[in-house]
Amino acid sequence: MEENTMTDGKMNRRTFLAAAAVGAGAVITRPLHGLAQAATAAAGGGAINAAILGAGTQGMVLLRDALAIPGVRFKAVCDIWAYSQKYASGTIRKAGQDAPAVFEDYREMLAGAGKMDLQAVIIATPDWMHAEQAVAAMKAGLHVYCEKEMSQSLAGAGQMVQTARQTGRLCQIGHQRRSNPLYRFALDLIARDKICGRVTTCYGQWNRPVSPASTWPEKFVIPDETLKKYGYADADGKPSMHEFRNWRWYRKYSAGPIADLGSHQIDIFNWFLGAEPAAVLASGGRDFNPSRQWCQDILAVYEYNTKGGSARAFYQVLNSNGYGNYFERFMGEAGTISISEDPARCHLAFEPAGKVPEWMTDVATVAADGQTPFSLVEAFKKRGGPDAEAQLKKNIHRLHLENFFAAVRAGDVKLLTCPPETAYATAAAVLAVNDAVESGAKVQFKPEQFKA
Ligand SMILES: NC(=O)c1ccc[n+]([C@@H]2O[C@H](COP(=O)([O-])OP(=O)(O)OC[C@H]3O[C@@H](n4cnc5c(N)ncnc54)[C@H](O)[C@@H]3O)[C@@H](O)[C@H]2O)c1
């Protein structure tokens, strides 16, 4: 056994140290922080009856990944759009499960939760519905897996935290990098092995090219009365398919790109630095699409006071240029680690003051940014434990869902890799960026702002 060195204070729990002989010399492999056990638990045990609420683009990703987890049965689909209902229910049937009950109104689904013996719901509706639906689901006795941003308002996020505590239901928020073994390995290298030395600079980006508005098949236009009933109407009260499909552009339904994309990566800054920020300043623009209510591009600088001293994190989200895609980077006097959900963007480079550990000398290097840093993926394969390669092959959301269902089976909230308290602290850091853009002033945080 080896002590888990997770820096968020919530992860000190069962870990294991798998010893394996790799290549000619036996090396001690890395602990997988309970994730391997979680996956095993998810594979065994009794069936869990689940529902999917919001079966759009991301809901379908989660549904497919959850259907691949043994013992998870989908009894219900809820979505206000016939198009999504049809797609989700067909996918469940094609996976060999019974035809699910189909609902338009989540309140009707929750009213029938007992009859359907539902235990869990996956929520992947637009952000503005998360707090209302997650709170109602927990009050109806269901465990909840809810997509990020957990809420577009901090008040909503706070209600989710309080309700999880009051009801004792498990609530996992969809910051899936927290269940990603490569991220957890990188954190060990930084926080435990101090491979980068003292980290003083972090960088993160999510760059996307200019893209057109989302559309819809003509035969699946939602009737006006349905759009109105569920709040998809413009400022004049006119039902709007455009707003329904492009909800991310509007303040009513979303907190904009910083919440949509930045929340994933700013969560990693907090997690890896083991701290919440002390201040943030930011600038943004709507240069290419003034009809978006939120800035399409934002550059933000966070200041942190970590245990090791001060640090700064620069974050940029662009919807005007996709160069370089998405990754996070941690830079110290001894080295740099770049990490991403895209394995091709995961590397480790040493500074002149850094020392390449002996176990890494034969790890493959890759071409990146005009250099040849070590491949983080190859390093993980060498040190990540006997099932490192199998973990890497799994879909990124599947690992986070496995963690959720394993925690539900075990009835152990402490197993969750992203409980609502953690996501609340992230939301507090993220949502303040919009205030900083609008005020043009540095926003100072108080530690109590990160607690619900
Ligand atoms: N974790 C990730 O990597 C990731 C990736 C993409 C999206 N997301 C999140 O997933 C969520 C959904 O995003 P998306 O891209 O799938 O959006 P989407 O617009 O494609 O899908 C939303 C679905 O919710 C349905 N819906 C809307 N209001 C509803 C209501 N009141 N009740 C029931 N159904 C309703 C819509 O009909 C649609 O089927 C968002 O919170 C988003 O931030 C997370």
pLDDT tens digit sequence for 398-425: 999 999 999 999 999 999 999 999 999 9
**Closest residue by CA, ligand 1 atom 2:** 174
pLDDT per residue as tens digits for the range 69-112: 999 999 999 999 999 999 999 999 999 999 999 999 999 999 99
Which stretches of 77-153 are DSSP H helices? 82-94, 106-111, 113-116, 130-139
pLDDT per residue as tens digits for the range 272-306: 999 999 999 999 999 988 889 999 999 999 999 99
Ligand 1 centre to CA of 16 (Å) is 36
Q: Is residue 190 part of a domain?
A: yes
What is the band of 331 on the pLDDT scale with cuts at 50, 70, 90? very high
**Residue ranges around ligand 1 (CB below 6 Å):** 53-59, 78-81, 84, 106, 124-127, 129, 147-148, 174, 176, 230, 260
pLDDT per residue as tens digits for the range 146-155: 999 999 999 9
Mean pLDDT of the chain: 91
Q: Specify the ligand 1 atom closest to the Cα of 176.
A: 1
The mean-pLDDT minimum among 20-24, 193-197, 388-392 falls in 20-24
Which stretches of 411-451 are DSSP H helices? 420-439
User: Is 288 in the same domain as 205?
Assistant: yes
Interatomic CA distance for residues 36 and 51, integer angstroms: 25
User: Is 287 in the same domain as 303?
Assistant: yes
Name the domain boundary from 148, 176, 204: 176
Interatomic CA distance for residues 153 and 134, integer angstroms: 14
pLDDT per residue as tens digits for the range 200-216: 999 999 999 999 999 99
User: Is 182 in the same domain as 303?
Assistant: yes
> How many independent structural domains does the chain possess?
2
Exposed/middle/buried for 288, CB within 10 Å: 0-12, 13-18, 19+? middle
User: Is 152 in the same domain as 185?
Assistant: no
> Which residues on neighbouring strands pair with residue 233, listed in sequence order?
239
Q: Kindly give the interhelix angle for 420-439 and 154-167, rounded to the nearest 10 degrees.
A: 170
Ligand 1 centre to CA of 371 (Å) is 39
User: Is 149 in the same domain as 204?
Assistant: no
Residue 322's domain spans which residues?
178-212+249-385+420-450
Q: Specify the ligand 1 atom closest to the Cα of 260.
A: 43
In 3D space, the residue among 119, 129, 139 whose CA is nearest the CA of residue 51 turns out to be 119
User: Is 263 in the same domain as 312?
Assistant: yes
Interatomic CA distance for residues 147 and 263, integer angstroms: 11
User: Is 203 in the same domain as 149?
Assistant: no
User: Is 192 in the same domain as 159?
Assistant: no
* Residue 27 reports pLDDT greater than 50: no
Tell me the pTM: 0.92
Residue 124 near residue 52, CB atoms below 8 Å: yes
Residue 3's pLDDT is 26
**Closest residue by CA, ligand 1 atom 5:** 58
Ligand 1 centre to CA of 163 (Å) is 22
Q: Is residue 110 part of a domain?
A: yes
Q: Is residue 244 part of a domain?
A: no
User: Is 119 in the same domain as 61?
Assistant: yes
User: Is 54 in the same domain as 187?
Assistant: no
User: Is 119 in the same domain as 199?
Assistant: no
Q: What CATH number does residue 328 fall under? A: 3.30.360.10
Q: Is residue 329 part of a domain?
A: yes
Ligand 1 centre to CA of 248 (Å) is 10
Q: What CATH number does residue 108 fall under? A: 3.40.50.720
Q: Specify the ligand 1 atom closest to the Cα of 247.
A: 19
Interatomic CA distance for residues 438 and 197, integer angstroms: 36
Q: Mutation test of ligand 1: which of 61, 77, 125 has the most ligand atoms closer than 8 Å to its C-beta?
A: 125
User: Is 345 in the same domain as 370?
Assistant: yes
